[in-house]
Amino acid sequence: MPVKKTSLAKIFIPLLFLITVLASGCEKQDISGKGFRFPLLTEPRQLDPQVATDSASITLIASLFEGLARLDETGAPQPAAASWTVSSDGLTYTFNLKSSKWSDGSEVTAYDFLFGIQRAVMPSTNSQYAEELFIIKNAREINQGKMDISKLGVKAVDNKTLVVTLTQPDSGFPAKTAMPPYMPCKKSFFEETGGRYGLEAKYVLSNGPFYLKSWVHNESLLLNKHEGYHDAKNILPAAVRYVIGSVDKPVSYLEEGLLDAAQIPSGSVKEAEEKGITVLTHQDSVRMLWMNNSIPALSNSFIRRALRDAIEWEKLYEQFDRDNDIPATGFIPPDSVISPGTKYRPSASPLTPATKPQEAVQYLSRGLEAAGLEKMPALTLICPEDDYSMNIARYIVQSWQKNLSLYFNIETLSPSQLDARVKVGNYQLALYTYTPPDSRAVDVLTAFKTGAVGNYSRFSDSGFDSRLSSLNQNPSKSEIANLEKALWDSCPSVPVSFELTFFGIPKGNSGILVMPFGGGTFGSLFDFRKAGKIEK
């Protein structure tokens, strides 16, 4: 069943949601206790909150596990597995756990959260998210092998009390505890799995609103309601099945009740609306012209700026399907926020590209000299194999031929091939749609930090890194705008358009939340805890 890939990417930040209004005139019936079906593009690799990085795994983890906090639809942290208090100096958080069970019926304790956090920090775990915990006292030193894990600023006082000491005050810390690295792990169960933790249904022990009933690899995963969850009475679905694969006819599947929410192509929006399917639009993705900064020919900012300024932008925009693409005005897409509920892009200074052939020629000459190259080699631009993307790629390459006398090749790839090539850096130039790691505008820029996950351009600039690190926990709009302008000047890659994505929810369904930014690296695209439906 094939669907257009939606990048999943950092914390649960559900800023935009939809509650389908039930049709009037229907007989009143209980909408709870129903089963739901959602698409899952690929097979999860490992349902281990401390180490999982792929979007499919994170999607499942978001429903199977629960952190100390969770984020509401505005992005604000709310008590989840625990409530908390903070000391007057802002350094010590005391979490009081709610009475809740693991999916095997045993009690969830503070020691389980302690062990989960310890696993994420220990260098032997090799967690890519260890840095997310460096705000905790001694976490950085432990991760670097300079200090023993017993020195970590996290203590289980008793079964229901967890105390966390920070290196410095951080008002955003409760939100961080919604992330998978902060989720609990029962030590005895983990050790009993013998290294297979999270790889099969029988090796998954969860504390969230659902538990993993079955996992048929490469086919589906079935989640059942977890009656031992502390808030089970408010979880409406009895079961949720994730069907692995893409969806070739999403509107038909939605209409026929084979799926309860799905992404739909722009060309099918009118058809979906005519069939009573409610359509939600997100503007959270950037169609980017990625430049691999690690290769000599693209290592210099002047060469990259030459390629940007040589593009015939107005002619390129004429090729856009305005129902699907709008010209990009920077790296940060329209749905990004400065803080929960406050958009960044509409009022931020736009960064609009312009065609400047003469300057582009000068930039190219200066850049080649700085890079020690006599001439620009013939590079290859990889792009999706659909006609629309190929047309955009052709106009870009033709611009370079016209204004810089450069002759580049175009190679078309399937979505999965393109995704893999870009993410591992096996490309020179790529036209590839990117969904930022979460809705916070500053985190879009964080993805360009040296060595950061999602830094597909392999951009590295110590000055940019330093400015990024100097920002406080809640930077202002002007601070973010100044940093975005600095990134624009360095031109690690070129934002081409803001791509719109569309989602459909069938008539009769209610309470299904559709998260922008794919739910974030640490979240799920769909939040279905309050989902109900009227059966046909």
Show the 3-state SS of 280-320. EEEEEEEEEEEECCCCHHHCCHHHHHHHHHCCCHHHHHCCC
Torsion angle of alpha carbons 358, 363, 366, 369, nearest 10°? -110
Q: Domain containing 294: what range? A: 283-500
Q: How far apart (Å, rounded) are the C-alpha atoms in residues 120 and 253?
A: 39
- Tell me what percent of the residues of the chain surpass a pLDDT of 70: 93
Q: How far apart (Å, rounded) are the C-alpha atoms in residues 55 and 37?
A: 18
Please check the confidence at residue 11 and state whether its pLDDT lies above 60. Answer: no
Residue 119 · residue 50 · CB < 8 Å: yes
Structural domain includes residue 525: no
Looking at the structure, do residues 68 and 190 belong to the same domain, yes or no? yes
Please check the confidence at residue 183 and state whether its pLDDT lies above 90. Answer: yes
Beta strands 239-244 and 35-40: pairing type? parallel
Beta carbons within 8 Å of 58's beta carbon, 6+ residues apart: 8, 52, 180, 519, 521, 522, 523, 524
User: Is the Cα torsion angle 266, 269, 271, 277 positive or negative in sign?
Assistant: positive
Looking at the structure, do residues 49 and 182 belong to the same domain, yes or no? yes
Structural domain includes residue 240: no
Please check the confidence at residue 3 and state whether its pLDDT lies above 60. Answer: no
Q: What is the mean pLDDT of residues 422-450?
A: 91
Distance of CA 454 to the CA centre of its chain: 10
Residue 135 · residue 153 · CB < 8 Å: no
pLDDT band at 264 (very low <50, low <70, confident <90, very high): very high
Looking at the structure, do residues 175 and 306 belong to the same domain, yes or no? no
Which residue type sits at 383?
C
Q: Look up the CATH number of the domain holding residue 154.
A: 3.90.76.10
Please check the confidence at residue 13 and state whether its pLDDT lies above 70. Answer: no
Looking at the structure, do residues 409 and 299 belong to the same domain, yes or no? yes
Which residues are 210's β-sheet partners? 225
Structure tokens at 382: 């990889």
Structural domain includes residue 16: no
Structural domain includes residue 239: no
Residue 394 · residue 340 · CB < 8 Å: no
Q: What is the mean pLDDT of residues 458-479?
A: 89
Domain end position, chosen among 173, 200, 227? 200
Strand, helix or coil for residue 210:
strand
What pLDDT, in 10s, does the model give residues 488-530? Answer: 999 999 999 999 999 999 998 999 988 888 776 557 888 899 9
Residue 426 · residue 458 · CB < 8 Å: no
Structure tokens at 197: 């933790």
Q: What is the mean pLDDT of residues 226-243?
A: 96
How many independent structural domains does the chain possess? 2
Kindly report which listed range (4-13, 100-109, 449-458, 468-477) carries the lowest average pLDDT score.
4-13
Structural domain includes residue 527: no
Looking at the structure, do residues 289 and 167 belong to the same domain, yes or no? no
Which residue type sits at 520?
G
Q: What is the mean pLDDT of residues 58-79?
A: 88
Could you tell me the maximum CA-CA distance found in the chain, to the nearest angstrom?
76
The pLDDT mean for the chain works out to 90
Structural domain includes residue 84: yes
Q: How far apart (Å, rounded) are the C-alpha atoms in residues 95 and 160?
A: 8
Structural domain includes residue 221: no
What pLDDT shows up at residue 91? 96
Looking at the structure, do residues 330 and 470 belong to the same domain, yes or no? yes
Strand, helix or coil for residue 424:
helix
Strand, helix or coil for residue 490:
helix
Q: How far apart (Å, rounded) are the C-alpha atoms in residues 181 and 178?
A: 9
Please check the confidence at residue 409 and state whether its pLDDT lies above 60. Answer: yes
Looking at the structure, do residues 345 and 481 belong to the same domain, yes or no? yes
pLDDT band at 41 (very low <50, low <70, confident <90, very high): confident
What pLDDT shows up at residue 137? 97
pLDDT band at 461 (very low <50, low <70, confident <90, very high): very high
Quick one: which of 198, 263, 224, 213 has its CA closest to 40? 263
Residue found under tokens 């990417």: 9
Q: What is the mean pLDDT of residues 415-432?
A: 94
Beta carbons within 8 Å of 408's beta carbon, 6+ residues apart: 378, 379, 380, 381, 397, 400, 401, 429
pLDDT band at 29 (very low <50, low <70, confident <90, very high): low
Looking at the structure, do residues 295 and 423 belong to the same domain, yes or no? yes
Q: Look up the CATH number of the domain holding residue 448.
A: 3.10.105.10
Please check the confidence at residue 89 and state whether its pLDDT lies above 50. Answer: yes
Q: What is the mean pLDDT of residues 472-489?
A: 90
Helix axes 477-490, 301-309, angle to 10 degrees: 90
Q: How far apart (Å, rounded) are the C-alpha atoms in residues 436 and 10?
A: 9
Residue 47 · residue 64 · CB < 8 Å: yes
Kindly report which listed range (212-216, 314-318, 415-419) carries the lowest average pLDDT score.
415-419
Beta carbons within 8 Å of 262's beta carbon, 6+ residues apart: 3, 38, 39, 247, 250, 253, 254, 503, 504
Domain end position, chosen among 165, 200, 235? 200
What pLDDT shows up at residue 53? 84
Structure tokens at 55: 């979007």
What pLDDT, in 10s, does the model give residues 112-170? Answer: 999 999 999 999 999 988 988 999 999 999 999 999 999 999 999 999 999 999 999 98
Domain end position, chosen among 200, 229, 247? 200
Looking at the structure, do residues 142 and 288 belong to the same domain, yes or no? no
User: DSSP secondary-structure letter at 50?
Assistant: T
Looking at the structure, do residues 334 and 460 belong to the same domain, yes or no? yes
Looking at the structure, do residues 186 and 331 belong to the same domain, yes or no? no
Structural domain includes residue 89: yes
Looking at the structure, do residues 321 and 461 belong to the same domain, yes or no? yes
| Maximum mean pLDDT: which of 11-20, 321-330, 384-393 | 384-393
Q: What is the mean pLDDT of residues 46-68?
A: 93
Which residue type sits at 427?
Y
